Amino acid sequence: MKKIAAIILAVSMLSSASVSAAPEKTTDPEIDYSGEYMAYDQIADYISKLYIDEYSKDYIIEQGLSEYLRGDDDRLVQLLKDTLGSLDEYSEFYTAEEYKQFEDDLSHLSYGIGIAMRENEDGLFEVTDFAEDNDNAKNAGIEIGDIITKVDGVSVRGIGMDAVRGMVVGDEGTNVIITVLRGDDEKDITVTRGVSVSMGTVDAQIYDGNIGYIRIYSFGVDTDEEFTDALNFMRDNDVKKIMLDLRDNGGGVTATVIAIAQQIVPKGKIIDMKFRLPSDNATYTSTLAKKEFDFAVLVNEYTASASEILASALQDSKAGTLIGTTTFGKAVVQNIYPLQNGSIIKLTAGEYITRNGKEINKIGLTPDKYVENEVSKFDSSEYTQFDYNTNISLGQSHPNVKAAKERLTLMGKYDGEINELFDEEFYDTVKVFQSMNDIFSYGVLDAPTMKMIESLISEYDMVKDLQFEEAYKMLGGVLDK
């Protein structure tokens, strides 16, 4: 900025001298430029028209930027990010390191320590599970229920899940020091990073009435294989009616969603892809002779991109009924273009048109049955009540235990059986909860602990999943009264 400031000062002095006429203002009036940018634009105008040697305005601007960025990779990277970002919300520039992370994310591959974690109300991170393919954390001494407070000596309080993940993940074979709170004790544990494949992207189960449920969380490189396994699970159990949950699925790999669609969409077009270069246009089709399953497809405002490809093909082919709210409306396609230094650009290069010729970008898909979920605050009258005068310890049975288990389950802090027995699993849950909330951590369900549970649950939004209920009923399921 020093060079620019110096030139601006020189031009302001020049304006008081004898100049025939100021160059015309040429910036786009529709763009809200800063005063400094306007001055820079005028400087280039002055030079192009008045400097002793002849240079074009574009040349002057390019030279200025070139000198400003020369030798400063950080500023150059930011310029490239801003340039791609100025095109639309989906075009991006990735450094070589960022692109590797992008590919690992698509593959659900990371070089971490083999744990799953969740953020608690204090902004710290509770270890909730271990990866099946990476025992490094478990072998190093980390336990489920541990609260991560620091990574390599740096506090993680309040920095968010993505930031903590970035601190834990690193090069394979390197060490990271994880500081955990276990009860009242804080200890440092050194863990070696290894390859971890995250939990899968597809869940499948069967509900009463032999009605299947498949949820696709995202479309990674292996999601089509996971989906095939889910369909085979349905076939093995003679399931013909399936709830396909695409809610909150922001998309992913186009080739993957096409491979999934070809398994369940009847013969015909899946999607048309149209690009700036007509030679790049493509039409993807299915050769499935007839539909094998009846689908109730759950969608919402966060169903986007690849999810909308699958949802639209099922809707247009009459193989599935869409239930929920209008989808996001992202029907543009990004291609990846490599650069010589290993970095890449992800550029919006095309758009897709649905099987029946609908353009849905920034519009979304309209569900066949529009259903919104109900959101309300926790109503304690519908659950077991606390008796704050009675403390409960390990091995005892009391309604207070059931009341606590009900509330902690709703908050995602307990996943055991809900009953009145204070067993060892619940004892561990209580101790972790007390540690997380600055309560004396001794594993007794006492009045302060019960009051804290009640205070926290009162702030939770309780969602009644009417979309799921509608899909279940449509396929013949009977809801409990």
Write down the pLDDT at residue 23. Answer: 46
Parts of the chain belonging to CATH 3.90.226.10: 202-334+349-370
Across 86-90, 219-223, 263-267, 274-278, which has the greatest mean pLDDT? 263-267
Write down the pLDDT at residue 1. Answer: 35
Q: Which CATH architecture has domain 202-334+349-370?
A: Alpha-Beta Complex (3.90)
Categorize the per-residue pLDDT at 6 as very low, low, confident or very high, splitting at 50, 70 and 90: very low
What value does the mean pLDDT take over residues 410-414?
84
Residue with tokens 């105008």: 45
170-184 burial, b at 16+ Cβ within 10 Å, e below that, comes to: beeeeebebbbbbbe
Residues forming beta bridges with residue 118, ordered by sequence position = 126
Among the listed residues 233, 236, 235, 241, the one whose alpha carbon sits nearest the alpha carbon of residue 204:
233
Q: What is the pLDDT of residues 190-222, one digit of tens each?
A: 999 887 555 568 989 999 999 999 999 889 888
308 class by beta-carbon count within 10 Å (0-12 exposed, 13-18 middle, 19+ buried)? buried
Parts of the chain belonging to CATH 2.30.42.10: 109-197
Write down the pLDDT at residue 397. Answer: 96
Q: Select the more confidently predicted residue: 319 or 124.
A: 319
Write down the pLDDT at residue 221. Answer: 83
Pick 377-462's CATH classification: 1.10.101.10, 3.40.630.10, 3.40.30.10, 3.40.50.300.
1.10.101.10
Categorize the per-residue pLDDT at 20 as very low, low, confident or very high, splitting at 50, 70 and 90: very low
Helix H or strand E encompassing 431? helix 424-436
Task: Please give the structure tokens belonging to residue 268.
Answer: 């015909």
Coil, strand, or helix at residue 471? helix
Write down the pLDDT at residue 196. Answer: 59
Q: What is the pLDDT of residues 421-466, one digit of tens each?
A: 999 989 988 988 887 788 888 999 999 999 999 999 998 888 889 9
Instruction: Report the chain's mean pLDDT, rounded to a whole number.
Output: 87
Parts of the chain belonging to CATH 1.10.101.10: 377-462
The rounded distance, in Å, linking the Cα atoms of 29 and 33 is: 9
Question: Which residues are CB-neighbours of 19 under 8 A, at least 6 positions away?
Answer: 50
CATH 2.30.42.10 fits 109-197, yes or no: yes
Residues of the chain above pLDDT 90, percent: 53
pTM of the predicted protein model = 0.68
